Amino acid sequence: MSVCLYCPNEGDSLEHPLPAAFGEFQGAPQLEDRICTPCNTNRLGLLDQQVSRCGPEAVLRRFFGVQGRPTHDKVNPHYRGSAGGRRLEMTGYDKEMGMEVELECLQGEVRQSRQLVVVDSLGKAHHLPIPHDLRDPEVLRSRYLALGVSQPRDVRLICDQQESEWLEPLFKAAFPTVSFGERALCASNYENGAVVKLQLTDRYFRGIAKIGFHYFLTQFPTYIGSEPCFANIRSFITDEEGGAIDRVNTFIGQRQNPLLGPMMCGARPDGWRAHVLCAEIREELLAHVQLFVCADYSSPVYTVHLGTNHHGAGVRATGHIYRYSDDGRRRKFSGEARALKVSHAAWEPPPLKPVISS
């Protein structure tokens, strides 16, 4: 019987180092019987939610139409946050409406969100996103009042024709005397440019650390994960109390030189999308995490410091690329995971960039 890495319970679950929210990949490494089901589902599940729903990866998941397991809850991160993280705020200026509006990604499109736009006396636009499950007039009223606009100059409802069938009665119930200005329909393929506002929390980076740690253990089975050299990274991953946010820099840095390079034999992500996980034994035990490698996004490479190589294990390195299928999902698999040809560089890489700056 194996003991869970994070508590005294029995390790009885099957863990995918790359969260299932990014899809299942045929041939992907798995960590078996090292983590108990409650830790895997609850404690660590919160970290997966932050990485997949609250960071830049959430935007890319929506844009590329990446779906996790069918049993998982469907959450639109543009309307609400997850696991204590904030929702994604994507805004752009609409020339026809003459105001800033909120946007959302949906399978290759960027479109206006379902929202109420309230313009104050100074001409500033305030946005009230309306999730699909909002049906309580009192909840709508309290969210509107929270905008703090006492005497709006203009109020506009942005929605599809079908959505207006339940939205207009909802607003009339919340505000019996309400009157709207011009009602706009959600426009798709929004091409006027957009700005995304998101918040990367301590929990987000602990999720990155968890991915790297669990992948390392799948690649070097001589390590169980409960060794004293991993005590600090285990504590960091599970520590919900936390402390100063810059403690993240102790465990994670941003790599300043490319991760793939020679491993891909010069191939560029021309139209394809993938995630890359690597593990390394040097004087330190390291993992590298790069999510959503593609031509449309300069994805950061996070290096996770897992511990010190006290046992003098020989220098080794390994890596996998999780590449999405070009023709979409095949049965339950979103793509295939393949081992990379990994080698150590003869030169010392540049120092890591802190992920949290003062």
DSSP string, 253-286: EE-SS-SSGGGGTT---SS--EEEEEEEESSEEE
Rounded Cα distance between 112 and 133, Å, is 18
Residue 72: per-residue pLDDT: 59
Q: Specify whether 324 is located in the same domain as 210.
A: yes
Identify whether 349 is part of a domain: yes
Mean pLDDT for 320-342 is 88
pLDDT over 90 at 210, yes or no: yes
pLDDT over 60 at 133, yes or no: yes
Q: Specify whether 110 is located in the same domain as 134.
A: yes
pLDDT digits (tens, 9 = 90+) for 251-260: 999 999 888 8
Identify whether 259 is part of a domain: yes
Mean pLDDT for 195-210 is 92
- How much of the chain, in percent, has pLDDT values that exceed 90? 54
Mean pLDDT for 127-135 is 93
pLDDT band at 184 (very low <50, low <70, confident <90, very high): low
pLDDT over 60 at 312, yes or no: yes
Phi, psi of 90 (to 5 degrees): -115, 120
Rounded Cα distance between 216 and 331, Å, is 28
Identify whether 79 is part of a domain: no
Q: Specify whether 140 is located in the same domain as 226.
A: no
Residue 253: per-residue pLDDT: 96
Single residue among 149, 164, 197 that ends a domain in this structure? 197
Q: Specify whether 218 is located in the same domain as 338.
A: yes
Q: In what order do the strands lie in the sheet with 195-197?
A: 109-112, 99-106, 89-94, 195-197
- What is the greatest pairwise CA distance in the chain? 75
Identify whether 258 is part of a domain: yes
Residue 313: per-residue pLDDT: 72
Single residue among 141, 174, 197 that ends a domain in this structure? 197
- 139 or 261: which leads in pLDDT: 139
**Token pair listed for 39:** 């830790």
Single residue among 197, 214, 231 that ends a domain in this structure? 197
Mean pLDDT for 285-313 is 90
Specify the pTM. Answer: 0.90
Residue 121: domain span = 89-197
Residue 46: per-residue pLDDT: 92
- 220 or 347: which leads in pLDDT: 220
- What domain count does the chain have? 2
